[in-house]
């Protein structure tokens, strides 16, 4: 059963956290935090998402705050470093924020940059990690088929672990997987799973070798576990640039998976210049613990969003609640 909307509004705190470096086109990350009977939880769909798409994020927040988490089979989650679309000279400093991480996810295909920029960035990451490090790249669906084929061929020399969402559509993913099969570089699907009305369509179409699952966009831990079970594909659990409260939700998802072949994208608290807790879920020796996070009252006050942004989020919460209730 849904908690009453007034119960949600009564504990809601809206924060605006600065990022270390620009990421996904933003310099600050806004989030709405709620406290339920099971602990603190997070509702933070990106601001451009409409109410219908944001409903899954609210389902996830309510599940994590008002229901017990599924049983877990591990206490720590190995995580990857995340390298935004920075200049090669900045790579060393970025990776230093992820101590002990053996895997790096590198953002590529960013607006205003070229394939040469991507190659230079990935080359520097490979140089810093050494031959034993693992590199995955993420294009966020921004290449067309020909661009993706050319880029994957150009970047394959760096021994890629996989390519995440090289193209936008499922049909394109299936085709690029066919075109680049000879390179033996796996294709991972993210947006085609979390932003799809049918998260199983990718697997049915043979469009991906790996699924990237995120607890909030997927509608919660149990919904994500169901997708994993039904597809039978290996899973990488990632965050959506959450606060440590939201990352904890992802950690419980990763901890509940029977198998966890890949390092997870749950080290992203390292991309925040500030967090809501004095004990953020930062990587230590390449992993984060599985535990709930309790925000610090002083940090909630320090990083409180403006009154205008607070009201925007509270109004959004009320609208999305009506979508969920219907």
Per-residue pLDDT, 282 = 98
All residues at 6 or more sequence positions from 227 whose CB lies less than 8 Å from its CB, including other chains: 193, 199, 200, 211, 213, 218
Q: Which two tokens mark 159?
A: 């021994």
Give the residue-averaged pLDDT of 139-152.
98
Domain ranges of the chain: 5-69+297-325, 76-289
Return the CATH superfamily for domain 76-289. Answer: Enolase-like C-terminal domain (3.20.20.120)
From the candidates 13, 107, 177, 316, give the one annotated as an active-site residue.
107
Residue 23 pLDDT greater than 90, yes or no: no
Tens digit of each residue's pLDDT (9 = 90 or more) over 278-302: 999 999 999 999 999 999 999 999 9
Per-residue pLDDT, 256 = 98
CB 294 within 8 A of CB 40: yes
Residue 265 pLDDT greater than 90, yes or no: yes
For residue 60, CA distances in Å to 45, 64, 144 come to: 11, 6, 32
Residue 224 pLDDT greater than 90, yes or no: yes
For the question of residue 107 being annotated catalytic, the response is yes
Per-residue pLDDT, 274 = 98
User: Could you tell me what percent of the chain has a pLDDT over 90?
Assistant: 97
Rounded CA gap, 88 and 149, in Å?
23
Residues within the annotated binding site?
138, 164, 190
Give the residue-averaged pLDDT of 52-73.
98
Per-residue pLDDT, 24 = 79
Q: Which two tokens mark 220?
A: 């919660």
Give one word for 208, left, alpha or beta, with left for phi > 0 and alpha for psi -120 to 50: beta
Per-residue pLDDT, 75 = 98
Residue 5 pLDDT greater than 90, yes or no: yes
Which pLDDT band, with edges at 50, 70 and 90, does 254 fall under?
A: very high
From the candidates 214, 303, 310, 316, give the one annotated as an active-site residue.
214
Per-residue pLDDT, 226 = 97
Per-residue pLDDT, 314 = 98
Per-residue pLDDT, 71 = 98
Give the residue-averaged pLDDT of 33-43.
98
Give the residue-averaged pLDDT of 171-187.
97
Residues within the annotated binding site for Mg(2+)?
138, 164, 190
All residues at 6 or more sequence positions from 114 whose CB lies less than 8 Å from its CB, including other chains: none
CB 243 within 8 A of CB 17: yes
pTM: 0.97
Residue 25 pLDDT greater than 90, yes or no: no
For the question of residue 105 being annotated catalytic, the response is no
Per-residue pLDDT, 127 = 98
Architecture of the domain made up of 5-69+297-325: 2-Layer Sandwich (3.30)
Which pLDDT band, with edges at 50, 70 and 90, does 22 fall under?
A: confident
Which pLDDT band, with edges at 50, 70 and 90, does 1 fall under?
A: confident
pLDDT averaged over every residue in the chain: 97
């Amino acid at each position: 059963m849904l908690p009453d909307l007034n119960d949600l509004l009564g504990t809601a705190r809206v924060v605006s956290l600065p990022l270390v470096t620009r990421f996904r086109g933003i310099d600050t990350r806004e989030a709405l935090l709620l406290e339920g009977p099971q602990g603190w939880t997070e509702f933070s769909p990106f601001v451009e998402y409409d109410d219908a798409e944001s409903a899954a994020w609210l389902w996830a927040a309510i599940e994590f705050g008002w229901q017990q988490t599924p049983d877990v089979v591990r206490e720590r989650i190995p995580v990857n470093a995340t390298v935004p679309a920075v200049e090669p000279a900045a790579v060393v400093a970025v990776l230093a924020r992820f101590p002990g991480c053996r895997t790096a996810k590198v953002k590529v295909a960013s607006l205003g940059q070229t394939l040469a920029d991507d190659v230079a960035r990935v080359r520097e990451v490979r140089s810093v990690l050494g031959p034993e490090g693992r590199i995955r790249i993420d294009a966020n669906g921004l290449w067309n088929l020909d661009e993706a084929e050319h880029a994957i061929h150009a970047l394959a020399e760096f021994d890629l672990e996989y390519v995440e969402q090289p193209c936008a559509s499922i049909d394109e993913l299936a085709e690029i997987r066919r075109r680049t099969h000879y390179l033996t570089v796996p294709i991972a699907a993210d947006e085609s799973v979390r932003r799809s009305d049918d998260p199983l369509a990718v697997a049915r179409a043979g469009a991906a070798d790996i699924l990237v699952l995120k607890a909030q966009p997927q509608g919660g831990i149990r919904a994500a576990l169901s997708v994993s079970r039904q597809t039978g594909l290996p899973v990488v659990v990632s965050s959506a640039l959450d606060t440590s409260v939201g990352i904890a939700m992802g950690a419980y998802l990763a901890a509940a998976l029977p198998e966890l072949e890949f390092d997870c994208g749950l080290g992203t608290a390292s991309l925040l210049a500030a967090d809501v807790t004095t004990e953020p879920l930062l990587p230590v020796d390449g992993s984060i613990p599985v535990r709930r996070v309790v925000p610090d009252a002083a940090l909630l006050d320090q990083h409180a969003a403006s009154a205008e942004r607070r009201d925007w989020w509270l109004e959004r919460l009320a609208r999305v609640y009506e979508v969920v209730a219907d």
